[in-house]
Amino acid sequence: MRSLLEIKHTNAYIMKSDYDKWREKISGHHPATIYREVSILARFLRYMCGLGHECYIPTLPKRPLKDFVPYIYSKDEMEKIFNVADALRMEQKCHQSIMMIMPALLRLLYSTGIRIGEALSIKNRDIDFNRHVIILNETKNGCQRLVPLNSTMDVVLKQYLLYRNRMPIAGLDNPDNPLFVSGIGKSPAQSTVYSNFHKIIKKAGILYKGGHKGPNIHGIRHTSCVHVMLKMIHKGKDMYCCLPVLSAFMGHKHVIDTEMYIHLTKEMYPELIKMDRSVTSSISKIIACALITENDYK
């Protein structure tokens, strides 16, 4: 709404001319940014109309097509990745090896959907096993976020810490020190994690396409969200109703950023979307019958 203030808008309503002025101001932005901004404004104006302020509600521009399509791992591929990571052994002595962290790190990425940079920024003090959460302080959007830990992930992290703290390095369990460390007790670089992950998917027999086509470690985050959606569909939940929850789970600033995963899920699992529709239609029939019955008594 800051843009409206910049064009010195002070009325409690928005006319088409006001919208056109604002739209002209952002005309030079990236198409994806324009789509997001117009979408947010349209939702706000609908809210204003609901409060009794007559406002012009703009039509959304055509959603820009994204060139980037993330690689989504199958459940079988994720199982292979975990098995290979668990079986890693050093071919030669290397003090800076990060082999020990890979099993726990990869499972954390898949279990929570957090970004690799967020995972590597976790400090020992950020883990609260009593509340079963991790506090993320260094996030992409600059907002602190709580990440839930399930019972399996609790066990994985505790086992990792047990072995990590056996290393003959002072201060590993210091609250301000990183959770994931190399063999010399330092936080590993993302590039080192990338190269290790590339070796893992190669051993797992997953074809590497190269460039931005993947698969890469960021794909685990995307996979996590799609697999969470699949669980929700299996439970008969409506994906669009669950968007705010998924958006918070992924650490997105805007719900619209999470919509991409709905389209991915629809493309990859059309048979499940049909199931989702059948569940929804059944609920609609129940509601319709209830309304008919109620009207009969009037």
Average of pLDDT values for 36-53?
A: 87
Nearest to 105 by CA among 86, 123, 119: 119
C-alpha distance from residue 231 to each of 234, 264, 265 (Å):
5, 15, 11
Phi, psi of 136 (to 5 degrees): -95, 115
pLDDT tens by residue, 257-282: 777 776 667 666 665 555 444 443 43
Of 21-35, 110-124, 273-287, highest mean pLDDT: 110-124
Q: Which of 132-141, 197-206, 247-256 has the lowest mean pLDDT?
A: 247-256
Using CA atoms of 123, 243, 44, 19 in order, give the dihedral in degrees to the nearest 10: 100
pLDDT at 149 over 90: yes
CA torsion sign, 243 to 248 to 252 to 255? positive
Query: With 70 as the cut, is the pLDDT of residue 16 above it?
Result: yes
With b for 16 or more beta-carbon neighbours within 10 A and e for fewer, the 89-100 pattern comes to: eeeeeeeebbeb
Cβ neighbours of residue 288 closer than 8 Å, sequence gap 6 or more: none
User: pLDDT value at position 10?
Assistant: 67
Most confident by average pLDDT, 108-122, 211-225, 252-266? 108-122
Confidence class for position 73, pLDDT limits 50, 70, 90: very high
Domains of the chain (ranges, CATH numbers): 2-50 (no CATH), 66-298 (1.10.443.10)
Nearest by Cα to 222 from 102, 94, 116, 79: 116
User: What is the C-alpha separation between 241 and 244, in angstroms, rounded?
Assistant: 7
pLDDT recorded at residue 116: 95
Using pLDDT thresholds of 50, 70 and 90, give the confidence band for residue 40. Answer: confident
The region of weakest confidence among 73-87, 103-117, 178-192, 276-290 is 276-290
Tokens 């706000």: give the residue.
Answer: 44
**pLDDT number for residue 184:** 93
Q: pLDDT grade, residue 291 (50/70/90)?
A: very low
Of the candidates 63, 57, 1, which has an alpha carbon nearest to the alpha carbon of residue 30? 63
Share of the chain above pLDDT 70, in %: 81
Rg of the chain over all Cα atoms, to the nearest angstrom: 24
